[in-house]
Amino acid sequence: MTDEDFQRLLTLIGALSQAQLVGLDAVVRTRISAVSAGQTVTAEIVERVDSAAEGCASIADIQARFAADPQCPHCQSADVIKWGSANDFQRYRCKPCKATFNALTGTPLAQLHKRELWLPHAQTLVEGISLRKVAARLQIDVTTAFRWRHRFLKEPKTRKAKVLDGTVEADETYFLYSEKGSRKLTRPARKRGGKASTPGLSDEHVPVLIARDRNTATTDQILPDRSEKSISAVLEPVVAKSAVLVSDGAKAYRAFANRVNIVHVELNLSAGERRWGIYHMQNVNAYDSRLKGWMRRFNGVATKYLDSYLGWRRTTDREGDALSANHMLAAAWG
C-alpha cells in the first residue's frame, strides 16, 4: 500500500460506524497476531478474518439497532432499563411486566448457539447450497443445518410486496406435492426430484400463485385450489385499484377483476395469444422460470416447507447482486 492510499484509509476510518469499527478492530488484531507469529497473511487467512469481522459487525449492528429503540418483546412497552449483560449481549428489564430480555428475545435467532457460525450460515443462504453442503462447510450436523435454515427463513417468508400497481401480471406455477423427510408417507415414495405418476396436472401438484408488477414487486401464495375465492384472497389485499391485471383466461381472474372493478387484460394463451398491445405476461413467466430453475438444486422440497423456500427466493430476487450474508442475517433477525 502506498503512503497516499494509507492516508486515504485513515480519512475513511472517521466515517465508520461503531459496528464497522468493531469489525475493523477484529481484522487488525488478527493480522497483527499473524505477522508477529511469523505467519504469511494468505488470501485464505484474509478471507477467514474478513468473514469473522463481518460477523462481529453484523451482531454489533443488531445490538445497536435494538439499543436505539428498545422495546419489551413480551408487552411491547418502551419503558425499559439496562439490566447487566450475558454472553456479550446487553440485557434489559421491562418496568411494567418485570421481564428481562436482550436484542434477540422473541426473534428467530433467540437461544441459537454457535454465534460465530451465523454469518457463514447466512452466506450459505446467499449461495443457495444444499443442506449436506451446509453441514460439511460449517462442520455441523445435517439436522442442525436444517433447523438453522428454517430459523433464518422464518422472517423472510413473511416479507411480500404490500402493494402491486401499474401493470400487474398474475399466473400460477405448480410443484409436486412432497412429504420429503416425513417418517410416515401417505403415498408411495418418489425418487428425489421425481415426476408425477400421471401426465398433466393432478392432485399430486400444489398450485402457487405468483403476482408481480413491472417494478418487480412480488407476492406469492400456496393455493388450496384455483377458485376465485382462493385467488382473490391473495390479490385483493395488494393489487391497487388503479392497476391493470394481466392474466390467462382462467375464470377466477375475470371474476376477481369484475368484483373489485379493476381493468383486466385476459390473454388466450391456449390460442397462442402472448401479447395484447403493451400487455403481456413475460415478467411473471420469467420469474416462474427462474424460481423453478433455482428450486431444482434441492431435488424436491417438502410441501410443508415450500413457503420458506418461496420467501428465500423472493429475497434473492429482490436483492440481486447486492445480497450478502449481512443482509440475510439482518432479515433473519427481523
Residue 183 sits in which domain range? 162-303
Q: pLDDT class for 48, splitting at 50, 70, 90?
A: very low
Q: 46 in a domain, yes or no?
A: no
Angle at CA of residue 156, ends 151 and 157, nearest 5° = 90
Residue type, 141: D
Q: 239 in a domain, yes or no?
A: yes
Q: 66 in a domain, yes or no?
A: no
- The count of domains in the chain is 1
Tell me the percentage of the chain whose pLDDT exceeds 70: 81
Nearest to 70 by CA among 28, 48, 99: 99
276-333 pLDDT per residue, tens = 999 999 999 999 999 999 999 998 899 999 999 999 999 999 999 888 888 899 899 9
Characterize the bridge pairing of strands 80-86 and 275-276.
Answer: unpaired
Q: How far apart are the first and last CA of the chain?
A: 39
Strands of the sheet containing 205-213, edge to edge, are 218-222, 205-213, 167-176, 244-247, 263-266
187-216 pLDDT per residue, tens = 666 665 566 656 556 678 899 999 999 999
233-257 pLDDT per residue, tens = 999 999 999 999 999 999 999 999 9
Residue 178 has a pLDDT of: 84
Could you write out the DSSP letters of every residue in 78-96? --EEEEEEETTEEEEEETT
Q: Which three cell numbers stand for residue 52?
A: 469473522
Question: pTM of the prediction?
Answer: 0.78
Q: 194 in a domain, yes or no?
A: yes
Q: 42 in a domain, yes or no?
A: no
- Which residue is it, cell 396436472? 201
Q: Cβ–Cβ contacts within 10 Å for residue 195, how many? A: 10
Q: 136 in a domain, yes or no?
A: no
Question: The domain that contains 184 carries what CATH number?
Answer: 3.30.420
- Which residue is it, cell 401417505? 186
Q: 291 in a domain, yes or no?
A: yes
Q: 195 in a domain, yes or no?
A: yes
User: What are the angstrom distances between the C-alpha of 324 and each of 85, 125, 300?
Assistant: 29, 9, 25
136-154 pLDDT per residue, tens = 999 999 999 999 999 999 9
Q: pLDDT class for 23, splitting at 50, 70, 90?
A: low
